[in-house]
Structure formats: structure tokens, C-alpha cells
Structure 1
Amino acid sequence: MTNPRALIPLMILILALDLGSGTTLGGRRRRGGGLLSPPRRPEGTELPEDQWFLQKLNHFDPTDGRTWKQRYFTNASFYRPGGPVFLMIGGEGPANPVWLVEGSWIEYAKRLNAYLFQLEHRFYGKSHPTEDASVENLAYLSSEQALADLATFTVAMQEEHDLKENKWIAFGGSYPGSLAAWYRLKYPHLVHGSVATSAPVVAQINFKEYLEVVRDALATVNEKCDEAVKEATRQLNMLLLHRVGWQSITKRFKLCSPLDGQNKKDVANLFSILTENLEDVVQYNRDNRDFEGVKGTNITIDTLCDIMLDESRGPAVTRYAAINSLVLEIHEEECLDHTYDSMIKELRATNWENNTDIGGRSWIYQTCTEFGFYQSSDSLNQPFGNEFPVSFFIQQCQDIYGEKFNLDLLKEGVKRTNTLYGGKDLKVTRVVFPNGSIDPWHALGITDNLSPEATAIFINGTAHCANMYPEATDDPPQLLHAREQVFNHIQKWLQE
């Protein structure tokens, strides 16, 4: 199975996100910040069925009358007349109806008698606005079009369900968290307040701070963990110096084909994949639903550091390989396809049917045109080496979509995004920004209050979108408190 794990980071969630599945770009690669599915649903609970909304293709050309069907879900079981309407925004993956019966917002809905909607993001899941995902058609994929989708959908649902006088609250985590904040910014007459969880509101090409937060998270377990990873990287680089070393890497890391140490793109891709083995665990630490099920336990930061510090396993590079083997086992993969060309080949596929990585193609397009978010190795303050600089990700844009998708185009796109929305200088009211301290995405988010009406909740020791998941018995007190803070904000907004 091809494994395009060097995919340009997404980012990579109102509840937006890839709400539901998380963005599993090409097998197990997840270069963005999507929200994973809740781990369970109440026994015997029926999930809402797919519903379809006739949506405009291009909201910004009044002469373009083309339409398409956008998927959404509803749950009115908690609703009482006069209650609020909660809107969960879909992100860079399929919308999952399990969120209509699980998650912290369900508890809020029960307490506040809310009507629930979830809208899938265009070009993800089953929401296909065009016949394929060609470059020509991807021109209709942008955060601006997604926000206009939300606005059009909101107005239609207000009319269809007699909800014009109700107050709408948007929820989102990760990229959809950004959309939740931006929806309140751009369409304040439609959405009364927003919960923007783990939202990277700043577009930034070189997101080198990401790996710095990963380093800090490893150090919270044991300062020697970071040093062990750094030593593993050093040993990997030594093995790259000769053909015998290439053979050793191929065997240790269970590569599907022999490593060519002179192929710089393959080497960069391999280093990026091995780094992501740790990135994913840190980002979703103790919420890591994608890593659930191996021998009845989850991989956590503690698991990683236990392996990296266990000298009985052999040298550091062998321990690093053991983590890779564990991830392969979890995802039921016999080997790791590290080759750059196979990754690019998958991401060039434009058909919707039987394409496991079409969401990856869509998301990477957004990173190449709007956001950047590239989790490069350019920082000197991280233990993963310097084999995948930001230029490696820019090259992917060109190799997937064409030569015009270069650095200059991306610079203009990132500048435009920050001009449209304001970056960290958002001028919004009735928005709350929860972030976890060990979530690397908090580096591009709001972690200090913008104003009395745009406040931050910084949750020590928690990871990406942690406050959105259902309550667990081992949740730390600060996470429980954060969920209650979010509820208090919503309750206050509904009185305004």
C-alpha cells in the first residue's frame, strides 16, 4: 500500500474538522490537524442518515448558476422550541454522523435544548461539487467558498425548520475551528457565537514551530527522550553515507523497496514519515483514536519515550525503527512505502471513486494556495534532523498540481488569507478559543485573550481538540474545567 506520509501538512473543525474521520492522507499519513472520531457511541443509538442540500458551486459569480449536492446531518432529539442551534463545521475529511450523538457538544445540547446540524466541507467525504478533483475544478475549493456554503446552508435551514429567531452557535476543531472563528467574523448576522477549538488562525508557509512543540512534549515525559531521538537521527544520517547503511535502513524500517540514499526526495520523504510517527502520537496524545486497538492499549508520548529510552533494545536507531514497526502493525501494513514518486502518483489521481487519498489531494491543494502549514525540519531546536526543509513541501505543490503552484503563488495566497481574516488580530466577539499545551497547532492559534469577548482557554497537558471529545474517566481536572468553561461561554452568549 502506498504511504504518502510526507504529504504537505495540512493542517491539519462551526465543529469543523475533518470531523469524523480525521484526515488520513494516504493510508496513515496525517500531516494536518483533523479531529478524530469519538471512540464509541451509546449502545443502541441510531446514527442520522445522509441528507443533501442543493448548494451553489461558485458563490462569488452571480452569473454562474451551477449547483451540487452537499451532505449534512441533523439531530433534533434534544431540541425544545426557542433553544439554540448548534452547527458543526466539516473539515478536511468525511463528516461522521457519530458526532451527532457523541462529543462534549452533545452534553451542551442536552443542557440547552439545542438543534444540531453538521455540514460536510466541499471536496471532502461525499460532498463532490465537480465531476472530479482536477486542478481546474479545485479552483472552487477555498475557505471563502466553504464559509459561503455555511452561510447559504444556515439561511436555508432557518427557513426550512423555522429557526430564524434562534441563536446559532458554531463549533469547529482544527481547520474547521478556524472556519468557526472566521464564520463569526464574516457572517456575524448568521452565527451568534463560535467555539474555535485548536484553530490555526494564522496562515504560515514554514511552520517550523510544530516540531519544537513536539520536542517540548517529549521532554515533559523525560528530557532524555528528546536526546534519544536526536541520537537516532544522527545514526540514521551515518547509515546514509554508504550502501551497506542503505540496506540496513531498508531492513530495520521494513521499507517496501530498497532505499537509494542518493535520491534526496526519497530520503526526505522517509525522514518526514519517521518524524510523523512521533508527531501523530504527540498531537493526539491520549485522544489518539487512530492508534487504538493494539493489544488493548493506546500509544502515548509515554509509550514512545519508553521505547526510545530502553537501551536493551539496541542502539537508538533500532529503537526508532521499533516505533515504526509498531505503527506499521497498528495500521496493518506489512511494509513502508517511502518513495516520493509513489506518493506523488497517488496525489495526482483526480477521480472520486475508489480513491483512498482524494481527501489528501484536496487538502494539500488548500495548503498550496491558502495556508502553507508545512511542518518542516528547518528549526534547529528539534531532534528530527534537517532532511525535509520547507522547499521539500513546495516542490510537492508543483509536482502534484503543476509548475505554477510555486513559492510565489503560495506567498500571495498566505498573504491573502491573513489579510482576509486578520491572523491573530481577529476582530471578533462571542468566540472562545480552546487550545492544548502539547498540541503543536497551538503555535498558530489564539492562546491569550484578544478581548473580553474573544477569549482563550489554554489547557495545560492536553492535546489536539481534547475538549471536544466525550468525557473519559481519566480526563485531568483542567480538561474537565475547560469543557465547563466552554459551556459557560455559550450559556452567557445565549443571554445576550
Structure 2
Amino acid sequence: MACRTHGLAVSKVVLFFLSSVFAAAEGHYRVPFRGLMRFNPVHDTTQRAVFEELWFTQKLDHFNGADSREWKQRYFVNEAFYKPGGPVFLMIGGEGPANPAWMQYGTWLTYAEKLGALCLMLEHRFYGKSHPTADLSTDNLRFLSSRQALADLAHFRTVIGQTRGLTNRKWVAFGGSYPGSLAAWFRLKYPHLVHGSVATSAPVYATVNFPEYLEVVWRSLASENAECPLLVKKASDTLAERLKDPKTYDNITKDFNLCSKLQIHTEMDSAYFLETLAGSFMDVVQYNQDNRAFEGVLGTNITIKVLCSIMGDESLGDPYARYVLVAHLMMDTFSVKCLDASFSNYVRDMTNTSWDGPAAGGGRQWVYQTCSEFGFYQSTDSPNQPFIGFPLVYHVKQCADFYNISTEQVAEAVAQTNEYYGGYEIRSSRIVFPNGSIDPWHALGITRDITADLPAVFIKGTAHCANMYPARSEDLPQLSLARDHIFVLLQQWLKQ
């Protein structure tokens, strides 16, 4: 899954989808959350044809023995490197469709070739083609949770182990962003089933308010040019000020090529618009200089350096004008005809419960998980970040609007998540936690060794899930060393 989770991922967070601020529905739809690892759609259909879609009979509710309902969960297998007696690698799907490109490319396959591993990838319930219920109604979404997903993994591992004669093999879980968290928690909660885990860019600590995300965005932009985040802030502040005057709406509509005339009736309207534009910077920072092109992902050429070069070019006009140019660059890159900045349209799409709905690719599902488990709301509630106008209240209100989940219920759910998994205080063994310093999600991850058997790998200068992508000649030396270090850990653990 392309790290976009994740995935962690997320979210709000999450990760969404088409690895940009803009997503695909009708050429202008977007989900204003990011974070977690993603298996983005592959444009080369020959890649998909290489690996057959397989289906596993899964339980709908693992925690109710009286509920006998079942459904079909999608998974993929790569047996090319397997040597009898070798380990089993399990790539965990996240908040998007499982992309079979990961059965051909990625660091985990390099490890598999060296270690003679069988490789499996299991799609997350409620994402991609893995549909446990008839629709995405809030009542059905109660079966969508990390706990149910972990139980899916456990049941899958048990049954596949029995049917393929792999019960006594050593299984290793892999995941990035939200699936990275799942990889860690799988080892934590089912230590008898999984021997070790590589939990990349995993946000293991749940929090309702996550302003630290944008604080890392500030620092990551400043790492390229100290003036860059200041110019972004000036542009964002200017736009927010103009939104107070309806006389500016026609010009703003034209500037940003909006799909319809800008309408600001509530603070939710302005927050959605401001977050949409900020999302360009947030996404680019999160995936800066990664190697996702093999997945069919667009826009990998847009980096922090590119955005800061635009924001720093005085010949292009004032900071607001340069902000506009960044938005157009993103739209052009993703072939977006116009920018849908309508919060009411967003609400309409997010409350569509059909599997054919515009948010069924993952948006409705992931935001539900943030409301019911994780929070992760990337608010502007910190002075040490470059944006304005989308505070925590804007995020949590959506939980009520979309799923009838109150602010108090969100807070209680997040507290329960940390109580169940341990947050930063996770205690287990044979889990490695790689994170990148550029990636905003590292603020919720493990960046220092907990014990010798719970090591962190903090990679300076890299972004979200960088160590998972295929190696290339331009990789930073510390990224190559990190991949090597993880391999050495796997070798050691598989001998234990």
C-alpha cells in the first residue's frame, strides 16, 4: 500500500486517497484528510494481471460468537521467493484498495528474496473490494475497527497456516502508517501468531487534537528554506482575511479556478476551503521525494523544494499570488478541471452510504475510524505552524454530521484506544519502528528505542514510509543504512 495509510495510515488524517489534495471523482473531488499508507490504483493493468485476486472467508464480527455472518476478504500471494521452511511475510492493508504492485516491488520483497519468504498481502475490511456489509451506513460501520482488522489478520493467519502447511513457520507482519500501527499491534495482541513486525511510520499514539502535524510541516518546509513557511503563512493569512469580505469571492473563485462561486456562510465553509488549499503543502511534505511512482502515483516530482521555489520567487507576485500558483500546479499535475471548495458538497458525498458513492474509496470509512478510534485531527490550533482557519472544532463537528458521534464520544474512544494498545508505552518484543524526520506522522510514533527488542530507526531527511519503497541510486545514505539495519534485525529475530 502506498504509504498514505497509511496506512497512518492516515487522517484528519488519512490518508486519502489519490495521494494528493485532489481525488478522482468527477475530476475535482477530494477528501481533506491525509496520513496513512495507501495502495493507490495502478495505471498499468498488466501489473494487476500478474497477481490473481484471491478470496478468504472471513467472520463479520469476531467478538460475537452468536453472529455467524461471513464475507469475502481479498488477498494476494507471491510465492516467487519462497523456500520450504522459510518465513511468511504478511503485508497489512490499510485505508485504501490493496495494490498488487506491492507484490512486485518494495523493500519487503528484497528481504523476502534473501530470506526465502512467502509473501501475502491482506486487504483491510471495508476498503478496496473487501466489502463485509451491503453498504456503508453508520450502523454497518460499527464492524469497522482496528480490533476487528487485527482479528481478521489472526483468523487469516490461522486458516492459511493450516491449509498451506505454514502453521509452524515464522510469520512477520509489515505495514506503513495506519497498517504500520496494525503491524505493531498484531504482534502485541497475538504474539503466538506473529513472530515479529516492521511497523513503518506507525502512529501508535491516538490523540483527538494533532496540531503537531502542521508544526512538523513548518519545520520540514524550513529545512529547505527558512523563509518558506513564513511566506506560506503570509499567504494563508491573506486568504483568510479576504474570506471575511464577500466582495472578494468572485476574485477568489477565479484565482483558484473553483468549480462554483465561492460561498462562505459558516465557519465550516471557510475552514474546508482553507484546509483544502493547505492540503497541497501537507501532502507534498508527507511524501517528499518518495519513490511511489511504481504504484502509478502521480505528482512524485512535486517536492518541498519545488513548492518553496515557487513561494520564494518574488517575480511571481506577492505570497498570495504564489499560493495560487501552487494550487494550479497541483490541479494541473492531477488533471483536475476545477477545485471543488464546497463544504456542502463534501457533506453530501461523505454521507452517501452506497458502495458506489464518491467517498466509498476510503474517505467515509477512514473518517469514521478517526471519529470512533483515533482522532488524529490536524488542526491549526498551534501558533507554530503556517496555516489558519481549520481548528479542532471544525474536525470533530464532522463526526456528528456524518455519524452522529459527539465530541465527548470521540474523546472517550481515543482514550480507550490508548488504554487498549498502550500508546507510546507499548510493551512487546521483536517490533522495529522506522520513521522519517520529514514525515509529520513521526510525532505520534516511536522514534527512540523502547528496549533492545523494540528498536526505533529514525531516518533523518526522509518522509512517510520511505524505507518501504524500492531502493534507488538517489536515496540518502541514511535511508539505505536504515533498510540494511532492518534486514539485520529480521535475520536475528528469525533465528530466535
Same fold (TM over 0.5): yes
The answer to whether 1:436 aligns with 2:436 is yes
Equivalence map 1:3-82=2 (5 Å): 9-12=12-15, 27-29=29-31, 31-36=33-38, 47-82=50-85
SS class of match (1:432): strand
Equivalence map 1:298-317=2 (5 Å): 298-317=301-320
The answer to whether 1:467 aligns with 2:467 is yes
> Against the structure 1 CA distance between its residues 253 and 37, is the aligned structure 2 distance closer, same or farther, given a 3 Å change threshold?
same
Shift of 1:480: 0.5
> Against the structure 1 CA distance between its residues 33 and 253, is the aligned structure 2 distance closer, same or farther, given a 3 Å change threshold?
same
Q: Deviations over 1:27-65 (max 9, x none)?
A: 443623233459999998962110000000000011111
Q: Deviations over 1:100-132 (max 9, x none)?
A: 111000000000000011000000000000111
| Residue equivalent to 1:400 | 402
Residues 71 and 127, structure 1, Cα contact 8 Å, conserved in 2? yes
| Residue equivalent to 2:111 | 108
> Against the structure 1 CA distance between its residues 288 and 22, is the aligned structure 2 distance closer, same or farther, given a 3 Å change threshold?
farther
The answer to whether 1:413 aligns with 2:413 is yes
Shift of 1:241: 3.3
Distance in 2, Cα, partners of 1:211 & 1:444: 13
Residues 369 and 410, structure 1, Cα contact 8 Å, conserved in 2? yes
Residues 172 and 197, structure 1, Cα contact 8 Å, conserved in 2? yes
Task: Give the partner amino acid of 2:403.
Answer: Y
Residues 281 and 299, structure 1, Cα contact 8 Å, conserved in 2? yes
Shift of 1:311: 0.9
**Which residue, out of 186, 203, 207, partners 1:204?**
207
SS class of match (2:425): coil
> Against the structure 1 CA distance between its residues 21 and 8, is the aligned structure 2 distance closer, same or farther, given a 3 Å change threshold?
closer
The answer to whether 1:383 aligns with 2:383 is no
Distance in 1, Cα, partners of 2:90 & 2:157: 9
Task: Give the partner amino acid of 1:265.
Answer: M
SS class of match (1:223): coil
Residues 11 and 35, structure 2, Cα contact 8 Å, conserved in 1? no
| Residue equivalent to 2:276 | 273
SS class of match (1:172): strand
> Against the structure 1 CA distance between its residues 467 and 350, is the aligned structure 2 distance closer, same or farther, given a 3 Å change threshold?
same
> Against the structure 1 CA distance between its residues 345 and 320, is the aligned structure 2 distance closer, same or farther, given a 3 Å change threshold?
same
Q: Deviations over 1:56-104 (max 9, x none)?
A: 0000011111100000001111101110000000000000111111100
Distance in 1, Cα, partners of 2:273 & 2:147: 34
SS class of match (2:415): helix
> Against the structure 1 CA distance between its residues 41 and 185, is the aligned structure 2 distance closer, same or farther, given a 3 Å change threshold?
farther
> Against the structure 1 CA distance between its residues 250 and 418, is the aligned structure 2 distance closer, same or farther, given a 3 Å change threshold?
same
| Residue equivalent to 1:191 | 194
| Residue equivalent to 2:159 | 156
Residues 19 and 90, structure 1, Cα contact 8 Å, conserved in 2? no
Shift of 1:329: 1.1
Superposition CA RMSD, Å? 2.4
Equivalence map 1:56-455=2 (5 Å): 56-287=59-290, 289=292, 298-353=301-356, 355=358, 357-385=360-388, 387-402=389-404, 405-455=405-455
Distance in 2, Cα, partners of 1:251 & 1:18: 26
SS class of match (2:50): coil
Residues 86 and 116, structure 1, Cα contact 8 Å, conserved in 2? yes
Between the aligned residues of both structures, percent identity stands at: 50
Task: Give the partner amino acid of 1:415.
Answer: A
Bigger mean CA deviation after superposition, 42-51 or 357-366:
42-51
Shift of 1:171: 0.2
Shift of 1:235: 1.6
| Residue equivalent to 1:492 | 492
Distance in 2, Cα, partners of 1:419 & 1:165: 32
Shift of 1:260: 2.8
> Against the structure 1 CA distance between its residues 206 and 34, is the aligned structure 2 distance closer, same or farther, given a 3 Å change threshold?
same
Task: Give the partner amino acid of 1:485.
Answer: H
Shift of 1:337: 0.9
SS class of match (1:49): coil
Q: Deviations over 1:169-206 (max 9, x none)?
A: 00000000000000000000000000000000001000
Residues 51 and 72, structure 1, Cα contact 8 Å, conserved in 2? yes
Residues 184 and 191, structure 1, Cα contact 8 Å, conserved in 2? yes
Q: Deviations over 1:443-481 (max 9, x none)?
A: 000000010100000000000000000011210100001
Residues 88 and 170, structure 1, Cα contact 8 Å, conserved in 2? yes
Distance in 1, Cα, partners of 2:79 & 2:180: 23
Residues 48 and 101, structure 2, Cα contact 8 Å, conserved in 1? no
Distance in 2, Cα, partners of 1:244 & 1:359: 37
Q: Deviations over 1:373-422 (max 9, x none)?
A: 0001111111112x1101101111111112xx011111110011000000
Distance in 2, Cα, partners of 1:261 & 1:442: 34
Shift of 1:10: 2.8
Specify every segment of 5 or more residues in structure 2 that has no aligned partner in the other structure, as ranges.
1-9
| Residue equivalent to 1:3 | none
Residues 90 and 120, structure 2, Cα contact 8 Å, conserved in 1? yes
The answer to whether 1:482 aligns with 2:482 is yes
Residues 37 and 96, structure 1, Cα contact 8 Å, conserved in 2? yes
> Against the structure 1 CA distance between its residues 106 and 161, is the aligned structure 2 distance closer, same or farther, given a 3 Å change threshold?
same
SS class of match (1:379): coil
| Residue equivalent to 2:457 | 457
Q: Deviations over 1:127-158 (max 9, x none)?
A: 00011111110010000000000000000011
> Against the structure 1 CA distance between its residues 485 and 22, is the aligned structure 2 distance closer, same or farther, given a 3 Å change threshold?
farther
Residues 19 and 95, structure 1, Cα contact 8 Å, conserved in 2? no
> Against the structure 1 CA distance between its residues 158 and 303, is the aligned structure 2 distance closer, same or farther, given a 3 Å change threshold?
same
**TM-score after normalising by structure 2:** 0.92
Distance in 1, Cα, partners of 2:211 & 2:379: 5
Residues 21 and 36, structure 1, Cα contact 8 Å, conserved in 2? no
Task: Give the partner amino acid of 1:29.
Answer: V
Distance in 2, Cα, partners of 1:473 & 1:182: 33
Residues 18 and 297, structure 2, Cα contact 8 Å, conserved in 1? no
Distance in 2, Cα, partners of 1:22 & 1:319: 17
> Against the structure 1 CA distance between its residues 61 and 273, is the aligned structure 2 distance closer, same or farther, given a 3 Å change threshold?
same
Bigger mean CA deviation after superposition, 240-249 or 181-190:
240-249
Distance in 2, Cα, partners of 1:25 & 1:89: 24
